[in-house]
Structure 1
Amino acid sequence: MWAYEHFELPSPPDLLTFSKKMLTGGFYFKPEFKPPQAYRVFNTWMGDPSKLILLERVLQVIKRENLLDRVQRTGAVLKGGLHELEKEFPQLIHSVRGRGTFLSFTAKDSALEKEFPQLLHSVRGRGTFLSFTAKDSSVRDQINNGLKKNGVLGGGCGEASIRLRPSLVFEPKHASIYLDVLRKTLKEL
């Protein structure tokens, strides 16, 4: 359920934060990180019992419908398609990376890539986020605007990346639609 579980750590992280995708927001922490006084952390999404009831139902649906397995299958389709686009449009995108549908690729000739290649080429992720990076911020904006024009909403992040945040019900057929629209958009540039 939690991304850190994929890494088979010997113990959970010291701190774990979560937000609205879980219908509530907050954090888990080891006892030694407990604030010395109560009410030191305030968050409008924490402590709302109605959200916890909803979250319990959401978790039941995730388990019953094997949505985390679906994320892995869909992510494989999506990542494979992004690798194909990376080969087809090497002048525009590169460095596809990630796990599940938490994927990313990097823009060609990004100033950050040149300055920090060891960091940008080792970024990894999981879950239902995916992103890729364009040649530079100008190309990123052209791709993002083209995707919008062609009916797909994404968002810019970082210097030259585009991110998507598909829901857990995102399936391989949706990944194929996205990849077709992205290919069309890249051809239009």
Structure 2
Amino acid sequence: MEQGSYIGREAVAAKRKQYFYPCTAHFYRDSPQIVRGNMQFVYDEKGKEYTDFFAGVSVVACGHCNPAITERTIAQLQQLQHTTTIYLTQPAVDLAERLEEVLPGDLRRTFFVNSGSEANEGALLLARMHTGRKGFIALESGLHGRTNLTMSVTGLPMWRTDRYLDEDVTFIERPYHPELTLDEAAEISLKSLARVLEEKGDTIAAMIAEPIQGNGGMIMPASWYFREVKALLDQYGVLLIADEIQTGFGRTGALFAMEHFDVVPDIISMAKALGNGVPVAAFATTDEIALSLNRPSASTFGGNPVSAVTALAVLDYIRTEGLQERAASLGAHLKAGLKSLQERYPALISDVRGTGFMLGAELTGVDAAAAGALTDDILEEMKDRGYLIGKNGIDRNVLAFQPPLIVTAEDIDGMITVLDEVLRQVSK
């Protein structure tokens, strides 16, 4: 569309209010109408450029409208758009074969779906089918989706919309507490897990966990935590599902975040970055566990030719451009910059945490509401200055930095400089 043909942010907001459900909100008081993207940049209806440090919540890891990916997407779209799995097509099997090469351990069977919620729903179903058990264990403050079952294992209150959630879910303390060390918090979480397993381990199908809690506030456990979790679960025949929806495909400096903990889960779910903005998701497991999902099933759009070719292009780009290694090195550079701001503004920033390009800076206030309001003020000011960052956490008071993995050191330094200015302004 030509610039003059955009209806404008006020009209878009009005139409959203008229036609969308009231649950649909946006971040900003004066939200731009985003009309175009190019790698780490997006542009509004007035032509203003923004450097994107949120990537659609970890989605466009390879950059907006990356030509190395979109050219292959368009070519497939012009050749064969859709068939479903009842016909033989090559892109889906090529993608499954390629995933087997990069998945950890002996995970090699893949079921393609459309979204992270659907991937986690499928993973939970698979666990029930394989174990013959119904119950699940989940961590407090985790987020796993908006279907009934994934919402049931979600521990963040604001995302538990359904009043009639599955009751066969037991939550345990997450391995983090602001007043404890990571080791101390991990010990408490493990003791809680052990108690649950002792009481009803023979009724539990799986434990689901994000290796790093994203919406929960960028919470990364102690390095040994998941090894001990897996050992406990194995004693009771309980499966471990790793929700890598946000963390997968290089964002944390490893292709999958569970690699930081030297753990191979029984089932892994993936989405977001795999399609770089094109809907594609999957859950993967071993040959043995996959045998349990043997009744007729299909996914109308899962693994369609366009999504599969796009995902193959994404995996190619991550490898050839070294995005995993880039996230590790430049992520450390970004974290160092955020740490320097924490030292400069200790009354505003209480913690900087995470790894790679999955980082959070927690803000303080006289209470949770004040900290959340401060977060909104900072997001608004950063947007006005040309930078888009995110927010998460239990009280929505954690600044989230999840940029496309192709951002440069110069982009990072520019963002840190502007964030410094904003923090100085709000601290007056």
So what's the TM-score if we normalise by structure 1?
0.76
Corresponding residue number in structure 2 for 1:103: 359
Q: CA deviation at 1:135?
A: 6.8
Letter in structure 2 aligned against 1:152: Y
- Cα distance, 1:36 vs. partner? 5.0
Q: 1:145 aligns with which of 365, 380, 383?
A: 380
State the identity %.
Answer: 27
Rounded to whole Å, the distance in 2 between the matches of 1:110 and 1:17 is 38
1:88 aligned residue = 344
Q: Cα deviations across residues 85-132 of structure 1 (Å, max 9, x unaligned)?
A: 0011111112111111111121225867xxxxxxxxxxxxxxxxxxxx
**Alignment match of 1:176 (pick from 391, 409, 413):** 413
The reply on whether 1:37 has 2:295 as its aligned counterpart is yes
- Residue 21 of structure 1 aligns with an amino acid whose one-letter code is A
Q: Counterpart of 1:95 in 2: which secondary structure?
A: strand
Structure 1 43/78 Cα, relative in aligned 2: closer, same or farther at 3 Å?
Answer: farther
Aligned counterparts of 1:147 and 1:87: Cα–Cα separation in 2: 20
Question: Residue 389 of structure 2 aligns with which residue?
Answer: 154
- Higher RCO (Cα < 8 Å, 6 or more apart): 2
CA contact (8 A) 1:25 1:43 kept: no
Q: Secondary structure at the match of 1:168?
A: coil
Query: Structure 1 38/171 Cα, relative in aligned 2: closer, same or farther at 3 Å?
Result: farther
Aligned mates of 1:43, 1:81 — CA distance in 2: 45
Label 1:186 to 1:22 Cα distance change in 2 as closer, same or farther (>3 A): same
SS state of the match for residue 388, structure 2? coil
Q: Secondary structure at the match of 1:83?
A: helix
Amino acid paired to 2:357: T
Match of 2:270 among 11, 18, 26: 18
Match of 2:256 in 1: 2
Determine if contact 2:363/2:371 at 8 Å carries over to the other structure.
yes
Measured against aligned partners, the alpha-carbon deviations of 1:17-72 in whole angstroms (never above 9, x if no partner) come to 111320121211344364353327x585x221322222222212211121111111
Deviates more, 1:13-22 or 1:77-86: 13-22
Answer yes or no: is the 8 Å Cα contact 1:146–1:185 preserved in 2. Answer: yes
Gaps of 5+ in 2: 1-254
Distance 2:318 2:334 in 1: 20
SS at match of 1:6: helix
**TM-score (ref. length: structure 2):** 0.36
Contact 2:342 2:349 in 1 (8 A): yes
Contact 1:94/1:108, CA 8 A, preserved across alignment: yes
Q: How many residues align?
A: 164
SS of the residue corresponding to residue 140 of structure 1 reads: helix
Instruction: Read off the aligned partner of 2:297 and give its amino acid letter.
Output: Y
Please tell me whether the aligned partners of residues 106 and 135 of structure 1 are also in contact (alpha carbons under 8 angstroms).
no
Name the SS for the 1:39 alignment partner: coil
Structure 1 counterpart SS, 2:387: coil
Cα distance in 1, alignment partners of residues 399 and 414 from structure 2 = 17
* Higher gyration radius (CA): 2
**Structure 1: distance between partners of 2:365 and 2:407:** 31
Give the 3 Å change call, closer, same or farther, for CA 48–20 of structure 1 in structure 2.
Answer: farther
- Aligned 8 A contact 1:74 1:100 in 2: yes
Q: How does 1:62-141 map onto structure 2 within 5 Å?
A: 62-109=318-365, 136-141=371-376
Shift of 1:80: 0.4
1:71–1:101 Cα contact (<8 Å) kept: yes
Relative to 1, partners in 2 of residues 1:15 and 1:85: Cα closer, same or farther, differing over 3 Å? same
Aligned match of 1:167 in 376, 394, 404?
404
Tell me what 1:115 maps to.
Answer: none
Contact 1:95 1:106 in 2 (8 A): yes
What's the secondary structure of 1:13's corresponding residue?
coil
